[in-house]
Copies of this chain bind each other. A is one copy, B any other.
Amino acid sequence: MTDTAEFPPDDDRARDTGFEAAPTGWLTPEDIAAARAQLPLVYVDAVPVQVDESGDVVSVGLLLRATPLGSMTRALVSGRVLYHERVRDALLRHIEKDLGPVALPQIPASPQPFTVAEYFPTPGITPFHDPRQHAISLAYVVPVNGDCRPQQNALDLAWLTPEEACSDTVQAEMVNGQGTLVRQAMAHVGRLD
C-alpha cells in the first residue's frame, strides 16, 4: 500500500527541502517555498519501540544521521502528511521509509496522538523548533516487531533502553526538541526515568 512511486531517485534532494518529490502538476518548488512560509504543515512523529509480551517498553529506536557539517545526530521517524493521505498511512509510509519494509510496525488503532509537537521556525515558543517551517506534528509511540534496517540517509538504527534514551548524553545528540519528545513518549508509556 505504500506507493514506492512516491520515492523517486531524487528523494534525498526532496528530503533536504523537507518535501517528498511528487507527481508532475503538483506544487512547484517555488509554490512549496511560498506555502511553507505561510501555512503550518502537518507532520507525524513516530517513536519506534520494542515491547515485551505485556506491552512494556524494552527499548527505543533512534536513527543515527550525519549532518551536512559532519557531526552525528539521533532522530525519530518523522515526515509530512501528504495531500489526501490518512494520518495512519503517513505513519506507516514514513516508518517503512526509515526502518525498511519488514519492520512490521503496529500502527495505533486510535488516531489520538500522545501529544502534538509544535515545531516553530522561531526558537523558544515551544520546546520544538524547525528553522525551515512551522510544522504541527502528531506524535505516536509505535511498537515494531520485525527486522529494522535503516534506509536512505540514516547511518544506523540504535536500540536504547528507555533510561539510555532519556540520558543527558543521548539527549544532547538530538536536535530541534526531539529529545524532549522522546522523554514525553517515555512519560506516556510509564518509563520516564
Residues of A within 8 A of B (CB): 1, 26-27, 31, 34-35, 37-42, 49, 51, 53-57, 81-89, 91-92, 106-116, 118, 120-122, 125-127, 134, 136, 138, 141, 143, 180, 183-184, 187-190, 192
A136 CA to B97 CA, complexed, in Å: 22
Choose from B38, B41, B88, B110 the contact partner of A188 (Cβ within 8 Å). Answer: B110
Known: A83-B39, A86-B126. A107 touches B27 (CB 8 A): no
Identical chains bound together, number? 4
- Is there contact, CB below 8 Å, between A109 and B183? no
A88 CA to B190 CA, complexed, in Å: 11
Choose from B109, B113, B127, B187 the contact partner of A113 (Cβ within 8 Å). Answer: B113
Interchain residue pairs with CB less than 8 A apart (6): A31-B34, A51-B107, A55-B91, A87-B118, A87-B136, A112-B114
Choose from B85, B106, B180, B190 the contact partner of A55 (Cβ within 8 Å). Answer: B106
A34 CA to B28 CA, complexed, in Å: 10
Given A51-B107, A112-B114, A115-B188, 14 more A-B residue pairs with CB atoms under 8 Å apart are A1-B54, A35-B35, A39-B83, A40-B81, A41-B42, A49-B109, A53-B92, A55-B91, A56-B109, A84-B121, A86-B125, A106-B106, A110-B115, A115-B190
A92 CA to B125 CA, complexed, in Å: 17
